[in-house]
Amino acid sequence: MRSDANIAGPMTDPVPGPRTESTGADVSRETPPPMDDTPIGRAAQLAVEALGRAGEGLPRPEQTRVIVVANQKGGVGKTTTTVNLAASLALHGSRVLVIDLDPQGNASTALGIDHHAEVPSIYDVLVESKPLAEVVQPVPDVEGLFCAPATIDLAGAEIELVSLVARESRLQRAIQAYEQPLDYILIDCPPSLGLLTVNAMVAGREVLIPIQCEYYALEGLGQLLRNVDLVRGHLNPALHVSTILLTMYDGRTRLASQVADEVRTHFGDEVLRTSIPRSVRISEAPSYGQTVLTYDPGSSGALSYFEAAREIALRGVGVSYDASQAHLGVQQNDPSMVEGVQ
Ligand SMILES: Nc1ncnc2c1ncn2[C@@H]1O[C@H](COP(=O)(O)OP(=O)(O)OP(=O)(O)O)[C@@H](O)[C@H]1O
Ligand SMILES: [Mg+2]
């Protein structure tokens, strides 16, 4: 099994100490920079150090898991969850493709992928039947992570798709024809339940719903769940809500824990034990074209996405998650994970 070859590398040569050879008075005696001074090298090294599990990979699924990240409510953390889970899984040695299905192109931006109007994009795949392989780009900072970008063209696709043959299953067909080996495909949906989201639900087996821990969190979820049922009934019998992730959790507020309790009562086992804290680092990372995993690997946001990815990977191979084994004690609803309270 391929393990964390890409993250174990830097660990074999940690930051070297000061040079021992004699130096002239004109030579700086500063600690030299790390030998592996690439962004990914540094990021991976820090991440692995922070997790304290050098070289430990995650189990990879036998078949590609296609996970649809959906919630028609805007701004609940769909894109943030997609890119950070994808980066976490890739840093653990998996091969991961992010499909950006939102005309805003936020996932493409966050992954540092060029998506101006002329770039071959998921629009060409859906509307022009271009092979997926011709639009997929490697993500610069993370080995094993790839992105099919969205451009502004996609804004017209909801309408253009209506008159096309097999309009609901065009993404599914494109994915089936894609021959590169992948462990995970994560699809970032727009905040609507139109044909783009239906295409994602026909293409995937699993739905991951990010829920923001705030008032009205559960409003509108009924509609989303009904759509999942409809797609399962008519177009994709394998589709199911596999995962609920609580996002922007602020353990200092009673409201957040009330919402979390309500969601856990309602959904039970689908809810990940790990919730994602509200974190400045998470919100800053996209403006640098990075995930929080490379932007600040030791931050609470990065650690919690790593932990959520671990839960998802373990569930995929039928291993139950033991929260007491969480890296650095990242626990569900842990107030100490909220920045500023640590
Ligand atoms: N855990 C977090 N802590 C702080 N800010 C966050 C967190 N998660 C997401 N955000 C911020 O909240 C905003 C909305 O997040 P995001 O874009 O991921 O939501 P979305 O559901 O994809 O939105 P849309 O429906 O518009 O596609 C972004 O500015 C993002 O940086
Ligand atoms: Mg989004």
- Per-residue pLDDT of 172-198, as tens digits, reads 999 999 999 999 999 999 999 999 999
The rounded Å distance from CA 299 to ligand 1 centre is 17
Q: Which residue minimizes the CA distance to atom 10 of ligand 1?
A: 283
> Which residues does 229 contact at the CB level (< 8 Å), separation at least 6?
none
Is 106 close to ligand 1, i.e. is its CB under 6 Å away? yes
Identify the pLDDT of residue 23.
Answer: 37
The rounded Å distance from CA 180 to ligand 2 centre is 26
Which ligand 1 atom sits nearest the alpha carbon of residue 190?
Answer: 27
Identify the pLDDT of residue 339.
Answer: 45
Radius of gyration of the chain (CA): 21
Identify the pLDDT of residue 17.
Answer: 32
Identify the pLDDT of residue 334.
Answer: 46
Identify the pLDDT of residue 335.
Answer: 43
Phi-psi domain of 284 (left: phi exceeds 0; alpha: psi -120 through 50; beta: other) = alpha
> Looking at the predicted structure, is the pLDDT value of residue 70 above 50?
yes
In angstroms, the Cα distances linking 328 to 213, 231, 298, 299, 319 are 23, 40, 10, 11, 20
Q: What's 151's DSSP letter?
A: -
Which ligand 1 atom sits nearest the alpha carbon of residue 188?
Answer: 22
Is 77 close to ligand 1, i.e. is its CB under 6 Å away? yes
Of the candidate ranges 33-42, 232-241, 309-318, the one whose mean pLDDT is the lowest: 33-42
**Could you tell me which of 240, 309, 226, 299 has the C-alpha nearest to residue 272?**
309
pLDDT, the chain, mean: 83
User: Of the ranges 1-15, 210-224, 225-239, which is most confident?
Assistant: 225-239
Identify the pLDDT of residue 269.
Answer: 93
> Looking at the predicted structure, is the pLDDT value of residue 72 above 80?
yes
**Is 161 strand, coil or helix?**
helix
Tokens representing 215 are 């008032």
The rounded Å distance from CA 107 to ligand 2 centre is 7
Tokens representing 290 are 């990075």
Q: Read off the pLDDT of each residue in 208-216 and give the average, rounded to a whole number.
A: 92
The rounded Å distance from CA 233 to ligand 2 centre is 27
The rounded Å distance from CA 12 to ligand 2 centre is 37
Question: What is the pTM assigned to this prediction?
Answer: 0.83
**Is 63 strand, coil or helix?**
coil
Q: Read off the pLDDT of each residue in 60-64 and give the average, rounded to a whole number.
A: 94
> Looking at the predicted structure, is the pLDDT value of residue 127 above 80?
yes
The rounded Å distance from CA 322 to ligand 1 centre is 28
Dist. CA 101–CA 188, nearest whole Å: 6
Q: Which residue minimizes the CA distance to atom 6 of ligand 1?
A: 283
- What beta strand segments (E) does the chain contain? 65-69, 96-100, 137-138, 145-148, 184-188, 206-212, 240-247
Confidence class for position 5, pLDDT limits 50, 70, 90: very low
Of the candidate ranges 29-43, 67-81, 222-236, 321-335, the one whose mean pLDDT is the lowest: 29-43
Identify the pLDDT of residue 331.
Answer: 44
Mutation choice for ligand 1 from 192, 283, 333, 338, CB with most ligand atoms inside 8 A: 283
Q: Which ligand is nearest to the CA of 247?
A: 1
Dist. CA 185–CA 182, nearest whole Å: 7
Residue labelled with tokens 């409510």: 73
Q: Which ligand is nearest to the CA of 210?
A: 1
In angstroms, the Cα distances linking 46 to 8, 51, 290, 301, 329 are 11, 8, 15, 14, 17
Of the candidate ranges 50-59, 129-138, 216-225, the one whose mean pLDDT is the lowest: 50-59
Of the candidate ranges 162-171, 297-306, 328-337, the one whose mean pLDDT is the lowest: 328-337
Q: Read off the pLDDT of each residue in 234-240 and give the average, rounded to a whole number.
A: 97
Q: Which ligand is nearest to the CA of 83?
A: 1
Identify the pLDDT of residue 327.
Answer: 52
Which ligand 1 atom sits nearest the alpha carbon of residue 248?
Answer: 1
Is 9 close to ligand 1, i.e. is its CB under 6 Å away? no
Confidence class for position 236, pLDDT limits 50, 70, 90: very high
Q: What percent of the chain has pLDDT over 90?
A: 70
Mutation choice for ligand 1 from 69, 71, 76, 79, CB with most ligand atoms inside 8 A: 79
* Helices 195-203 and 221-234, axial angle in degrees (round to 10): 60
Q: Which ligand is nearest to the CA of 274?
A: 1
Ramachandran angles phi, psi of 3, nearest 5°: -100, -150
Identify the pLDDT of residue 47.
Answer: 59
Confidence class for position 40, pLDDT limits 50, 70, 90: low
Confidence class for position 218, pLDDT limits 50, 70, 90: confident
Identify the pLDDT of residue 278.
Answer: 95
Q: Read off the pLDDT of each residue in 95-110 and give the average, rounded to a whole number.
A: 97
> Looking at the predicted structure, is the pLDDT value of residue 325 above 90?
no
Identify the pLDDT of residue 42.
Answer: 58
The rounded Å distance from CA 164 to ligand 1 centre is 32
Of the candidate ranges 101-110, 287-296, 316-325, 332-341, the one whose mean pLDDT is the lowest: 332-341
Identify the pLDDT of residue 322.
Answer: 67
Dist. CA 12–CA 10, nearest whole Å: 5
The rounded Å distance from CA 67 to ligand 2 centre is 15
Is 279 close to ligand 1, i.e. is its CB under 6 Å away? yes
Q: Read off the pLDDT of each residue in 75-85 and give the average, rounded to a whole number.
A: 97
